Structures are given as C-alpha cells and as structure tokens.
Structure 1
Amino acid sequence: MASEMLSKVLDAENSDKEAQKAAHEQAQKTVDAAVEAGEGAVARKKAEAAKKAEEIIASAREQARANEEKAEKAAGERKREVLAAAEAHRAEAIRAVMETVI
C-alpha cells in the first residue's frame, strides 16, 4: 500500500512537472509569436515610412521641375524683352543718326 501511494505521489509529481514543462513551452511559443508579430509590425511601419518618404521626394522633384520650367520661361520672356528694348534703342539711334545726316 505504501508503495502504491509512493507511486501515485511520484506519478503526480511527474505529471505536474510535465504540465509545467508544457505550460512553459506554450508560453515560449506565445512569446515567440508576439515577438514575430512585433517585428512584422515594425517592418510594416518601416515600409510605410519608406513609401511616404519616396512620395515626398517624388513630389519635391516634381515641384523642382515645375519651378525650373517657370524660371526658364521667365528668363526667356525677360531675354525677349531685353532684345526688343535693345532693338528699339538701336532703331532710335539709327533714326537719330539719319536725322543728323539729313
């Protein structure tokens, strides 16, 4: 009878140890899954941030191109104005010379 009781106590202890081991393994799996999920979330956030940065850079480049086109157009218009003024001044100078000669 004592040996049966001892056997039951040992079985209960073994069963308890196995249950603790299984619980520990399950807890470790849960922790691993949480870490993996966290890493996935971080990776997604990084990807979203990178995409947003690319969009901002693309927008800045487009704005720079638009500004450059405006500057080139303004420079072209200013050049035409200067050339027209120079031509008018030249024509006036020629008229003045012709009036002096005549």
Structure 2
Amino acid sequence: MMIPDFQTLPKNGRLAKKDLIIEVELNGKMKFDHLLHVIYQQTGICYKVLSVNVEYMNGANFGSFQLHIKASEEESQELEFFLNKHKLMNTTVDYTCRKYS
C-alpha cells in the first residue's frame, strides 16, 4: 500500500490529481475505440482526445494517439500497467497549464 505524501494532499483529504498527456502507439492487437472504452471503464479516468493518427488494415489498428487526462498517481500507474500488459508502447508527460487572471 502506498502512503501518500501529506504535502500533496488537498484540504479535503483526497489525493491530488495532475494533468497528464499520454501518447500511445497501437500495435494492431487492440482496436482504438475498444481501448478508449476500456480506459474509461476499468480505470475510471476521463480523457480528452488531443490527436489521432490511426490506420486500419484488415481489422487491425496501427498508429498513435494522444490523450489529455487528469489522474492521481495511483490511477496513472494503473493505466500504465494496463498498457504495458497489452504491450502498447506509451509515454506520459506532466502537463502544466498556465492560468492568467
């Protein structure tokens, strides 16, 4: 069990979520739409699709796509484990959006 760092906990006691951009390479073993469905259903992570470059050949999906997600450390690790389990190459980058007042 992971022990949270109390400096990252907000006042309501929940783990802080970070904005992340994840890029995934499809290898032909899983369909793009099915993968998005599984990400939402199994991990509960909501996402925004940023870019998609997918080609369909004989029912197989090849290419890459980028998602913008807001997830806790535990949720992002669960997603990374799922993608690695299905041999989908992935890269995650912390994304910080500058807010102007």
TM-score by length of 2: 0.21
Q: Which has the higher contact order (CA 8 A, sep 6+)?
A: 2
TM-score by length of 1: 0.20
> Whose strand proportion is higher, 1 or 2?
2
> Whose helix proportion is higher, 1 or 2?
1
